[in-house]
Amino acid sequence: MPIRILIADDNSSVRTAMRQVLEAAGEHWEIIEAENGKEAVAKARELKPDLIIVDLVMPLMDGLTASKQISELLPNTPILMHTLYPFPQVKEEAGKAGVRKIVPKSDSSVLVSAVEDLLSSRPESQVLETAKRRTEDRIRELCSQLFATQDDDAHASILVDLQKVLHQHIEQLRARVAEYPAVERRIRNGVIPAPPQKTAKAVREPKQKQ
């Protein structure tokens, strides 16, 4: 599954340049664009990207407000701010909003390395969870399409896609199960009874002879 990166900037030329740089750097990086902070929040909620890049100054909703809302929606998703104003005060406020790294637009050469650092810092469990949520969303989407259409050819095409996504989902669930040790997994499933909890016994003092 490709790594999904959402970039939010009101300048279309900047978005295009960022897209070209990122697509050239990552063979399996899927780039999504947003024109403002409000659209970034909506697309983050809908598409659940692996990483989000936001500008500071944008119409409708600025980068700080968008970052705060996205952090509440997707607390484990790293946010990078790409701005002309990498001042100490901006860095402090950005950190409070959930931004993990700031890259100045005057030095975009470090953008790719910053993205790679944030992606590599994600725990494996987070990567699997993001992929699982995205696959579940795709399953719901295909089921909706299946019930909405009455065309036989469309049904056949959707069923093929649905079969592939369901197989992918099964593999993701297997990967999650493999994270647990075998004994713990059997205990969770009730195959092996959990050991009884030891309780402290009261210590009785010996009776003194009269």
Beta bridge mates, 6: 32, 52
How far apart CA 16 and CA 18 sit, in angstroms, is 5
Q: Do 110 and 177 belong together in one domain?
A: no
How far apart CA 154 and CA 42 sit, in angstroms, is 29
Domain of 161, in residue numbers: 125-188
Q: Dump pLDDT digits (tens) for 127-177.
A: 666 666 777 777 787 788 878 888 878 878 888 887 887 877 777 677 666
Residue 209 lies in a domain: no
Beta bridge mates, 103: 82
* Among candidate residues 1, 37, 35, the one with its CA nearest the CA of residue 137: 1
Look at residue 190 in the predicted model and tell me its pLDDT. 61
**pLDDT band, very low/low/confident/very high, at 205 (cuts 50, 70, 90):** low
Rounded percentage of the chain residues whose pLDDT exceeds 90: 48
Q: How many domains are there within the chain?
A: 2
Range with lowest mean pLDDT among 2-6, 89-93, 120-124, 199-203: 199-203
Structure token pair of residue 119: 């992606």
Among 75, 98, 121, which residue terminates a domain?
121
Q: Do 17 and 117 belong together in one domain?
A: yes
The 10 Å Cβ neighbour count of residue 206 is: 5
Residue 195 lies in a domain: no
User: CB of 76 within 8 A of CB of 124?
Assistant: no
Q: Dump pLDDT digits (tens) for 50-94.
A: 999 999 999 999 999 999 999 999 998 999 999 999 999 999 999
Range with lowest mean pLDDT among 38-47, 159-168, 180-189: 180-189
SS3 207: coil
**pLDDT band, very low/low/confident/very high, at 189 (cuts 50, 70, 90):** low
Structure token pair of residue 192: 């092996």
User: CB of 79 within 8 A of CB of 108?
Assistant: no
Q: Do 20 and 69 belong together in one domain?
A: yes
Structure token pair of residue 114: 């910053």
Q: Do 102 and 145 belong together in one domain?
A: no
Q: Do 140 and 162 belong together in one domain?
A: yes
Using CA of residue 7, residue 23, residue 49, residue 124, what is the dihedral sign?
negative
Q: Do 12 and 69 belong together in one domain?
A: yes
Higher-confidence residue: 5 or 1? 5
Distance of CA 175 to the CA centre of its chain: 17
